[in-house]
Amino acid sequence: MSSVNLKNVVGKKSEVNSDILLLAKELNIEVCIEDATGKLLLGTLLPDDVSKFPIKLDDQILGWVKGDAKAVIIANLVSHLAAKEAEKKNLGNEVLNLYQELNVIFNFSEKLAETIEPDAIARITLEQAMHSISSDGGIIVLWNDDKGQLEIPAQAGEFLFDKEKIRKNTSLLFKIAFGGQSEIINDFSVLREKGIIEAGVKSLMYAAMKVKHRIMGAIILAGNKDDQFSAAHLKLIVTLALQSSAAIESAMLYEKNIREAKEREEAILRIHEATKKFVPNEFIRSLGKNAITEVRLGDQVEKIVTVLFTDIRDFTTLSENMTPEENFHFVSSFNARLGPIIRANRGFINQYLGDSIMAIFPESPEDALQAAIQMQKAIRELNKERIAKGLPIIKAGIGMHTGPLIMGITGDESRMDAATISDTVNTASRIESLTKYYKSPLLLSQETQEHLNGHYKFHVRQLGTVRLKGKSNLLSIVECINGFEQPEYEKKLSTLSYFNEAMRCYREQQFENATMIFQQILALDPGDQTAKFFLENASRFMRQGVPENWTGAEEMLTK
Amino acid sequence: MEKKILIVDDEAHIRMLIGQTLEELEDEGVEFLTADNGASALELIQSEKPNLVFLDVMMPKMNGMDVCQRVKKELAIDDVYIVLLTAKGQELDRQRGQEVGADVYMTKPFDPEVLLSKAREVLQLD
């Protein structure tokens, strides 16, 4: 019961003050009312020898009504009014408590709305609980289902809880805090014995944190005084725990969504990384698309490109001595050396065809030629390693041609492929084959040479024309000597003008002169296989004469 | 001289809540006055000269803003401290509260502790 200020009940400003005076007048008595301290509240002061009647609220005397015997009526009336006033005040206090609770929950909700991080929500919850409920220490325990362990996202106040002991006694904690109940614990001797709570703890209260029927954990408050927690406190902590549980649950779901979205994004990225290894990005970009997902059946683009082919010489013979697995490793390691060179020179590998590679250089033939020269160097280095291991050396031919090419997506709706359709590809492949015929490692078409636009750093030898099998047009073949190893390159460079002169004689059927010059070249550079090839041809024509309608072009009877 | 607090709100329970919150000041000789509308508030401010007024903004007829404007700006009574009370998060009201000369602005639901300490501060009670 709250105490009542008698002044408020009968004082001058009260509504009943004049009524009581009127009543006294009607009763024909003289009265005065004093509070417990003797302070006059109503009427005029009467001497101490008159009778006085107590104004009581329960057992407490609030004041006195002085007067004769009839004044007892007024004393009873005022006691009754005081009781009503006390009742009103009690009601008011209860409403104020509820209002305070409402304010706490309002503020708490506002704070919760500001964060989406589960641990931060736990900290805010504990902070709010300890602010609203007088307590000396608090902790929040949450069960992490994924990790299968107890977590303690928040601890506040004095260190009344031992985190390590809590973790060690998970099963005990489960029995207490994970029962889904909320209560003021009277007997917590077990917890004290296990060292989970400090010896000084005299009061303990907890509320389960749960969503629907799933128990997530608990918020536990401890106090150093006896009976520190009331039923009202329990109600408040339950409210906070429930609100907090829902917020933590949403925050965890949010985190999970973010995590999953990130994982999906990474998976897509990995797929993208993988697909670009199968269908080069350059191919997709050439089609004006950013990603393979944008590519549609029938997409196509035509442009002038340089197509380069490489092929390992006598691969069949080489592979005969290898197991299929060794064979695969051999080809893979060969390709692994050449692939980066192609990319470094702005080209991309359109296709691996067993021991050969088809690459496309969309920007300039110079890129292709530069790549080819570097590839020759890489093969020489590979050979050094093979010699050291006692393995036979590898020889490879490189051929290229420049011309229009259609890149596009062919197939059907359920099986598509990135394809190149062009005679340029066939021609490049055939030029590569000619490296065997001319015994030269690097050949290009005259079209490629013309597209080089005077890049004089490349030194070339004109090898004349060929008519490919099944083709009516003649193709001029050019050999690039830049890729030879330094001493050989220098020899070929020094004999370049002789070679061109010899070829002129050869074309004009001056085979005697041609033979003589080729012999001179071979005297200086005995390893010049191409010169040897033409010397043999010229010698044969000298001996046997040229066929009818000989144009100087080599007729290719096979592909 | 006795210190006076005037509580103005058209809602009876809010008047009671504020009274209840500040109850302990009664023991320190503070007198409480209440009004349930702007017009009576204005009369009481002039006749009783309270030191502190908790003034609700949203009231029918004459609202808290108008009362404040009249007291602070037109009647130029500056020895009264006016706390405007209104629902949370009405940013425009806050601005208007400053314009009409309110000393401070509090939102409902108010924090009883904050309300009490504000009253103690204004009335210079320890």
User: Which residues are A480's β-sheet partners?
Assistant: A460
CATH 3.30.70.1230 fits A282-483, yes or no: yes
Strand pairing report for A474-480 and A442-445 = antiparallel
Which residues, 6 or more positions from A197, have their beta carbon under 8 angstroms from its beta carbon? A160, A161, A162, A188, A191, A204, A222
pLDDT at position A478 = 94
Distance in angstroms (rounded) separating the CA atoms of residues B126 and B119: 10
pLDDT at position A213 = 78
pLDDT at position B88 = 63
Q: Is the pLDDT of residue A274 over 90?
A: no
Distance in angstroms (rounded) separating the CA atoms of residues A39 and A41: 6
B18 touches chain A (CB under 8 A): no
Binary contact (A96, B21; C-beta < 8 A):
yes
Mutation test of the interface with chain A: which of B6, B13, B18, B20, choosing the one with the most A Cβ atoms within 10 A?
Answer: B20
Residues of B in contact with A95 (CB under 8 A): 13, 16-17, 20
Q: How far is B28 from chain A (nearest CA, A)?
A: 12
A102 touches chain B (CB under 8 A): yes
Query: Ramachandran region of residue B105, left (φ > 0), alpha (ψ -120 to 50) or beta?
Result: beta
> Mean pLDDT: which of A203-212, A371-380, A541-550 is highest?
A371-380
Residues of A in contact with B26 (CB under 8 A): 5, 8
- Closest CB to A100: pick one of B16, B23, B112: B112
With CA atoms as reference, report the closest residue to A182 among A253, A256, A99, A240: A240
Q: What is the mean pLDDT of residues B30-36?
A: 93
Angle in degrees, CA B8, B126, A105, rounded to 5: 55
Binary contact (B109, A103; C-beta < 8 A):
yes
Distance in angstroms (rounded) separating the CA atoms of residues A219 and A207: 5
What is the dotted CATH code of the domain comprising A115-256?
A: 3.30.450.40
Q: What confidence tier does A178 reach under pLDDT thresholds 50, 70, 90?
A: low
Three-class DSSP category at A216: strand
User: Which pLDDT tens digit goes with each residue over B68-108?
Assistant: 999 998 898 889 999 998 876 666 677 788 888 899 988 88
CATH topology of domain B3-122: Rossmann fold (3.40.50)
The 3-state secondary structure of A365-398, one letter per residue: HHHHHHHHHHHHHHHHHHHHHHHHCCCCCCCEEE
- The rounded percent of chain A whose pLDDT value lies above 70 is 98
The residue assigned the tokens 């050989």 is: A488
Q: What confidence tier does A177 reach under pLDDT thresholds 50, 70, 90?
A: low
With CA atoms as reference, report the closest residue to A136 among A154, A159, A153, A152: A159
Distance in angstroms (rounded) separating the CA atoms of residues A354 and A375: 17
pLDDT at position A550 = 81
Q: Residue B109, preceding bond cis, omega within 30 degrees?
A: yes
Three-class DSSP category at A299: coil
- Closest CB to A99: pick one of B17, B23, B26: B17
State the DSSP string of A475-493: EEEEEE-TTS-HHHHHHHH
Q: What confidence tier does A200 reach under pLDDT thresholds 50, 70, 90?
A: confident
Q: What confidence tier does A181 reach under pLDDT thresholds 50, 70, 90?
A: confident
With CA atoms as reference, report the closest residue to A108 among A246, A220, A231, A222: A246
Q: In chain B, which residue's Cα lies nearest the Cα of A98?
A: B17
- Closest CB to A92: pick one of B20, B110, B111: B20
Which residues, 6 or more positions from A204, have their beta carbon under 8 angstroms from its beta carbon? A184, A185, A188, A191, A197, A220, A221, A222, A223, A229
User: Which is higher by pLDDT, A18 or A15?
Assistant: A18
Strand pairing report for B52-56 and A415-421 = unpaired
Domain ranges of chain B: 3-122
A545 touches chain B (CB under 8 A): no
With CA atoms as reference, report the closest residue to A361 among A396, A302, A402: A402
Q: Which of A27-41, A136-150, A458-472, B82-96 has the lowest mean pLDDT?
A: B82-96
Q: Which of residues 65-94 of A touch B (CB under 8 A)?
A: 89, 92-93
Three-class DSSP category at A434: helix
Q: How far is B70 from chain A (nearest CA, A)?
A: 28
Q: What is the mean pLDDT of residues A547-558?
A: 77
Tell me how far CA of residue A505 lies from CA of A27, A90, A425, A510, A527, in angstroms: 157, 127, 32, 5, 22
pLDDT at position B91 = 63
Is B21:B114 a contact under the CB 8 Å cutoff? no
Q: Is the pLDDT of residue A370 over 90?
A: yes
Strand pairing report for A137-144 and A60-66 = unpaired
Burial pattern A64-81, b for ≥16 Cβ within 10 A else e, equals bbbbeeebebbbebbbeb
pLDDT at position A144 = 84
Binary contact (A95, B88; C-beta < 8 A):
no
Q: Is the pLDDT of residue A551 over 70?
A: yes
Domain ranges of chain A: 6-102, 115-256, 282-483
Q: In chain A, which residue's Cα lies nearest the Cα of B15?
A: A92
- The rounded percent of chain A whose pLDDT value lies above 90 is 46
Distance in angstroms (rounded) separating the CA atoms of residues A196 and A160: 8
> Mean pLDDT: which of A99-113, A125-139, B77-91 is highest?
A125-139
Q: What is the mean pLDDT of residues A514-526?
A: 93
Distance in angstroms (rounded) separating the CA atoms of residues A10 and A16: 6
Chain A to chain B Cβ contacts (< 8 Å) = 30
User: Which residues are B82's β-sheet partners?
Assistant: B53
Q: What is the mean pLDDT of residues B49-54?
A: 96
pLDDT at position A1 = 46
pLDDT at position A515 = 94
The 3-state secondary structure of A186-212, one letter per residue: CCCHHHHHCCCECCCCCEEEEEEEEEC
pLDDT at position B18 = 93
User: Which pLDDT tens digit goes with each residue over A283-311?
Assistant: 888 788 887 778 788 888 888 999 999 99
Phi and psi of A60, rounded to 5°? Answer: -90, 135
Q: What is the mean pLDDT of residues A431-455?
A: 89
Q: In chain B, which residue's Cα lies nearest the Cα of A102?
A: B109
Distance in angstroms (rounded) separating the CA atoms of residues B103 and B106: 10
